[in-house]
Chain A
Amino acid sequence: MKLTINNEQVYLYTNNKEIDPSKPSVMFIHGAGFDHSVWTLFARHFSRHNWNVLAIDLPGHGRSSGATLTSIEAMSEWVVDILNHFKLEQVALVGHSMGSLITLETASKIKARASKVVLIGSIAPMPVSEPILDATANKPGAAHAMLTSFGFSKQNLMGGNPNPGMWMVSDSMRRYEDEIQAALDLDMRACNAYRNGLEAAAEITAPSLMIHGDADRLTPLRATKTLQSTLNEARISVVPGAGHSLMVEDPNHVLDQLKEHLL
């Protein structure tokens, strides 16, 4: 679905359906350098179960125009604009990686409007290493390779994709190549600079679910503890053998957990 907000073209995947405020709603928020299409399987599922699905493309990503936003706070304000546009009183927020930081910030802002929170591959704060920031700024090919390499568990880098015939390494590379180079860099800097994650988490009242790979090499599992203990009512589901790219590495686990938490 395409709409215009603040004079910019906004795209969100809704499974070709209009948004009906009388139905339950779930918004999916992608990570750095990606777009709505990382959520296709899950969005299709909740759509079939008669939910509104809103898999957004953040400004300057995928099919949304506009300048890339430079802070998690600004991205969160933009997300709230979308929720207001559709007059959604209740929404479940599902975010991956950078999207999980936007989820934290947004859920703390909209308070009771957030019915449920799901944080996938999430830690707060989410520091990004200097070599990665240098690469996203100056050497995009190297940045794509680093993020792809560290984006999967070592085991999954050699494949075994549950989606038959698909090679997730090249799929990840192509997704980074497709994005505007500056967007990936700005996303990474926004993650690195965001300091409000734990304060936001403390204000969230909605039941929260964390889904995390036990072989995550970008946001290590051990670093989730502070966030989990800060959140109210947070459950963590650990995905064995998986890294940071959980929607690709183990989509069935992610969907089962989303169903349990949201449906």
Chain B
Amino acid sequence: MRRFTASPGAQKRAEIMKDYSPAELDTLALHAGGKPDPATGARATPIYQTASYCFPDSDYAAALFNMERPGHVYSRLSNPTTAVLEERIAALEGGVGAIATASGQAALQLAIMTIMDAGAHIVASSALYGGSHNLLAYTLPRFGITTTFIDPRDEDAVRAAIRPETRLIFGETVGNPGLDVLNIPRISAIAHENGIPLLVDSTFTTPYLIKPFELGADLVMHSATKFLSGHGIVIGGLLVDGGRFDWDASGKFPQLSEPYKGFHNLVFTEEFGPAAFISRARKEGLRDFGACQSPTSAFYIMQGMETLGVRMEKHISNTRAVVEFLNGHDAVAGVAHPDLESHPDHVLAQELFPKGTSAVFTFEIKGGREAGISFVNALNLFSHLANVGDAKSLVIHPASTTHFRMDEAALAAAGIGEGTIRLSVGLEDPKDLIADLKAGLRAAEKTAGGAGK
């Protein structure tokens, strides 16, 4: 045990809540981890496009390999450019450290593989990104890791789904695409009562809208392709360790609390204290599975992250204008956004997301599938594609694309209907966005009218 006298994590969190940070988000987004380049004085973080690094002498080399010195050996394990991005997201989230991965999916896989063996079990929200659902429902069972999907609003169902072999609870800060708000304080309390951590995917929300570690989450993952970058030009993921979960006290994670043969019987909790998880994820997961992020990708992601605060503010204000326009429009059957009182998580969202919930949301178009297709086809500014969180506004029809592998029941559980349209509201002038949506809705009304409604 790290603490000889265990102090209950929940109590500790209640006491701390607002974590210490040396600066506010806008400042950290520009500066955290990014000193002027020590070699050249370059103010921008340079792209260190190199696979490997020279050792000054053989003892220094041995020291790097044996974790006696910090430094870089091979860019699969760490890279000076990627390290700045990792430190920056850890700073923004208030975590002890982070790892940049090849994609958001790689971040999820790295989190799971670091703390789970065959036979382990996950309890996951049913409102997940389709890619995450595929990994948990179809791929991981091939490796002996199974998942029970639950409605995260149903706390009894969460408790009932936890088994002796459960090692993780996983959900999205706001579910894709219905924006079910994950009650992080309540769900993390259930997780901790059972000695297991809570991993949340904060891709939609970013640290601008929510700081999951301050609410009780233990691990945070992102697809950095989305709002963190904002430009839609790069694929990348991030995994952040909050450093508060007590792996020793849990007793369920020998990967971290028992000797690891893959590194001379190193016990990660003994040698790395609060950084046990992220240290093993790097020393094992990056080393062996190898889904590292390229330094050029990290550079692109950082270019976006520098403006995270100003972009998110505009994403949210534009979304409010669009939601207001759609809500109550004759061609719209309903809008699912927590800003609206009609959303089942409206009250919880006000509490957990004081700055706003999400610039991605869905609405139901009247006239079903055909009207939906007409709507999407009639749009000009909104790009029809499979992504979210771009500075440009995006639209998609989930039932036929991102969620097409899910059967009807799973679709319904995820809050998706035949006529559901998902928007990702970008940074254009809201007047132009609304004009574009008006044209789309006119086309949809025509189709629905032609079909006799």
Please report A residues at the B interface, Cβ cutoff 8 Å: 13, 16, 35, 37, 40-42, 44-45, 48, 60, 62-65, 140-141, 144-145, 148-149, 155, 157-167, 169-171, 173-175, 177-181, 251-252, 255
Contacts and interface: CB of A to CB of B under 8 A. Distances in A.
Interface string B80-109: 101100111011001111111000000000
A216 B93 CA distance: 26
A158 B31 contact: yes
A174 B271 contact: no
A161 B278 CA distance: 15
The list of the 5 closest CB pairs from A to B, nearest first, reads A165-B86, A174-B274, A167-B90, A164-B78, A145-B20
Given A169-B20, A169-B22, A171-B243, A37 B95 contact: no
B32 A159 contact: yes
Contacts of B95: 167, 170
14 contacts: A45-B63, A64-B4, A144-B20, A158-B23, A160-B33, A164-B78, A164-B282, A165-B83, A167-B95, A170-B94, A170-B242, A175-B274, A180-B3, A255-B63
Contacts of A41: 67-70
B78 A171 contact: no
Contact of B243 (A35, A44, A163, A174): A174
A174 B5 contact: no
A162 B265 CA distance: 25
A9 to B, nearest CB: 8
Contacts of B97: 165-167, 171
A158 B32 contact: yes
B69 A255 contact: yes
A202 to B, nearest CB: 34
Interface stretch (B11-19, B110-118, B333-341, B362-370): B11-19
A178 B273 contact: yes
Contact of B272 (A40, A140, A170, A179): A40
Contact of A165 (B90, B243, B273): B90
Contacts, number: 162
A163 B78 CA distance: 9
Nearest to A158: B31
Contacts of B31: 158-159
A145 B16 CA distance: 10
B71 interface: yes
Nearest to B27: A158
A48 B66 contact: yes
A165 B287 CA distance: 15
B220 interface: no
A166 B90 contact: yes
A165 B3 contact: no
B22 A157 contact: yes
B87 A149 contact: no
B62 interface: yes
Interface of B: 1-5, 7, 12, 15-16, 19-23, 28, 31-35, 62-63, 66-72, 78-80, 82-83, 86-88, 90-91, 94-100, 242-244, 259, 264-265, 270-275, 278, 282
A181 B7 CA distance: 10
Contacts of B96: 166-167, 170-171, 174
Contacts of B265: 16
A63 B2 contact: yes
Nearest to B63: A45
Nearest to B23: A158
B35 to A, nearest CB: 4
A159 B35 CA distance: 8
Contacts of B21: 169
A159 B91 contact: yes
A197 B13 CA distance: 38
Given A166-B97, A171-B96, A173-B20, A13 B271 contact: yes
Contacts of B5: 180
A170 B32 contact: no
Contacts of A144: 20
A141 B259 CA distance: 33
B42 to A, nearest CB: 14
Contacts of B86: 164-165
Contacts of A62: 2, 4
Contacts of A155: 35
Given A45-B63, A180-B5, 7 more contacts: A48-B66, A149-B22, A158-B33, A165-B90, A166-B275, A177-B12, A177-B244
A212 to B, nearest CB: 20
Given A35-B273, A37-B271, A37-B272, A178 B3 contact: yes
A170 B242 CA distance: 8
A158 B62 CA distance: 30
Contacts of B282: 164-165
A174 B273 contact: yes
A157 B33 CA distance: 9
Contacts of B88: 159
A97 B281 CA distance: 31
A170 B98 contact: no
Nearest to B238: A165
A169 B88 CA distance: 12
A23 B32 CA distance: 43
B66 A44 contact: yes
B33 A252 contact: no
Nearest to A13: B270
A179 B7 CA distance: 9
A181 B96 CA distance: 20
Nearest to B99: A165
